[in-house]
Amino acid sequence: MTAFPNSLPAPAHPDPRDAPVLRWGILGPGLIAGHFVAALMKHTGQQVTAVASRTAQRAADFADSYGIAQSYGSYEDLLADDTVDAVYIATPMSEHYAQTVMCVQAGKHALVEKSFMRTAAEAVEVRELARAGDVFVMEAMKTRYIPQVQVIDRLLADGVFGTVDSVVAQYGGVVPFQAGHRVFDPALGGGVLLDIGVYPLSFAYTVLGAFTSVKASGTLAASGVDDSASAVLTTESGARALVETTLRASTPIRASINGSLARVESGEPFHNPSPLSLISADGLRRLDWNDQRYPGRECLAFEASAMARYVADGLTESPVHGLDDSVAIMTLLDEMRRQVGARFTDEL
């Protein structure tokens, strides 16, 4: 029996500034790419040397906004740039497969914004190509690298929870339907599951590992993509995950791990740096943790610095969220979409 700890462990990598430096190129100069670049500039020593878009002016405007030296009107031109070591792919999910393949073929390391691909089949192909090409490829699942999840990793490794019985995770918010918007467009890999539902699902998978049973239900937007989904996922041991995501209502953005000896409750939103509380099973002991130095999407600095460390160490996959993990999560997303009835354009 593991005793309740006297203090919480420290994150494995508390400072993203201590990572080796990569020279980054950006594919897709949109909102999330802007947050990524700003986080790197504020909290790391990473260098952003180039940006590319299908529209030269859009790339040039982005470069001007962030002081990036080079901009390109084609993705191929950026991948031919010798000043780029690694590429951050921040385009819609429909583009991830082709652009990651391009990066691997060009010998560029790739950090691919979540969800990794549209489907598990695409993820499997990318995994095999990346391994054959000996190129580092990683899903930009920021929750695997933020400080409080590093703390949770240590608690799990130390057996502090005892036997984990369940994980509960929610992420929802109201987004009115807009025809053609990327979240609602089946041609762009739209749907709530791939957009934000991947966060609670990934959190549950991180804690419990492989699931043997998935029971999902949800609703569809007018365009045919999923706009809400809930699921109970069960492991071989009988541990369960309850995950919920929606664009139809405002829900808590919280997660908890519930074990025989202790539980963890996150603050909001759990997918960004937020407080957490470790509470003993009898409710008499409690430890609180909080680190708000990297609020909101400033936490994107952690995934970039983690990747830089892995590349410097000669790795070709993340040791905490490798390509097998990304494939497993995409497989779960496929099954949840199937049960809900959601289809992409080429699946109809």
pTM score, two decimals? 0.96
Structural domains in the chain plus CATH codes: 16-143 (3.40.50.720), 147-294+321-347 (3.30.360.10)
Please name every residue paired with 226 in a beta bridge, in sequence order, or none if there are none: 220
How many Cα atoms within 13 Å fall on the side-chain side of residue 227? 22
For residue 319 the two structure tokens come to 């040791």
Task: Tell me how far apart the alpha carbons of residues 66 and 162 are, in angstroms, rounded to a whole number.
Answer: 47
CA 230 to chain centre: 19
Helix then strand count (H, E) for the chain reads 10, 14
pLDDT by residue for the chain (348 residues), tens only, comes to 688 999 999 998 879 999 999 999 999 999 999 999 999 999 999 999 999 999 999 999 999 999 999 999 999 999 999 999 999 999 999 999 999 999 999 999 999 999 999 999 999 999 999 999 999 999 999 999 999 999 999 999 999 999 999 999 999 999 999 999 999 999 999 999 999 999 999 999 999 999 999 999 999 999 999 999 999 999 999 999 999 999 999 999 999 999 999 999 999 999 999 999 999 999 999 999 999 899 999 999 999 999 999 999 999 999 999 999 999 999 999 999 999 999 999 887
CA 145 to chain centre: 9
